[in-house]
Structure 1
């Protein structure tokens, strides 16, 4: 028990220290570049975007930490947050490994294998990116051909369209919940002089209000049906 406790303490200590080191490394370069060239960003233009991202991601931070901890454990969770793509890559790799081996969640065996599975996912991601960087230079003439440029121009719209369509096409209610904030943003875009940096804040506020009203209506309907 003492060994397990020492190991968990080491994992948390190493995860916190490494996260802080990476945070300093990531922020040091833009700060150093701005200081050297004397070009600092306009905070008046950036702060609405910062607030919008915080408001959008804040509900996920505690939920992910609590929900993922029982399966991934602290070691794999620190590794996932440092390397990114937790929901898309790290969690599926970990869950797939645990389920295929029939290991019970929230155990020492589960957390140990989660570190191995998450580490393998990270190594695979780095290897794929490295191969892409190496192969990109020889393939540059082919990638720049005019015949295939339309495919690259529509990659991002196709990805976002597919992701949004999965939610919108689930039902009429989901469609309306997305349509209302979009309509309000279009109104501010074409009929007001509000800076576009505030559109995300407006959309989040309206989406939150619409979802709260929809939730309350659902509860009231359930109460009436129960009576």
Structure 2
């Protein structure tokens, strides 16, 4: 069972509409996420990757909102992080929902040339944007957390995102110093982690509403910037 903090349980119990069940909610939190990956088109064409991995025994199911995204079905023995194709940067282990924001950013045939990813570590959306830009223009990948910058750098390098500049600032400075400098901005702001419990069982172990309110103020500042 995933350890959900009593504060979180009480909060959700108060927020749930009457026709929904708290037991069902808790049960759903304990269901693991489907494994999903995104093909890195900077290094390999998606049809070629699918052909190679299908021959290797992978069962790939297309993710409807991302042409390069797939769920891995039917084989729990696949260790995605140890796969040679992962080490080569041919794919990124990425949640299906995480693939939505970059797709939205490039919807309606928009082709921004200068893009900012404000809070970019570990780099799933950053490298997806780089692929959507086909390593053209400029992508600025910013990360405030010093401990996460190294991971971001490693993923950018592994995926071959060559037109990406890595910065280490508080995202709230961009509005003042680089006002209207970007064609598009992705802001995946720091959050309370409520939506990540199926990926990280310990995400809500120490949950407190006051922490969420403090993070909300940071989110507002980042949006304003």
Normalised by the size of structure 1, how large is the TM-score? 0.18
- The structure with the largest strand share of the pair is 2
Whichever of the two has the greater Rg, that structure is: 1
- The structure with the largest helix share of the pair is 1
Normalised by the size of structure 2, how large is the TM-score? 0.19
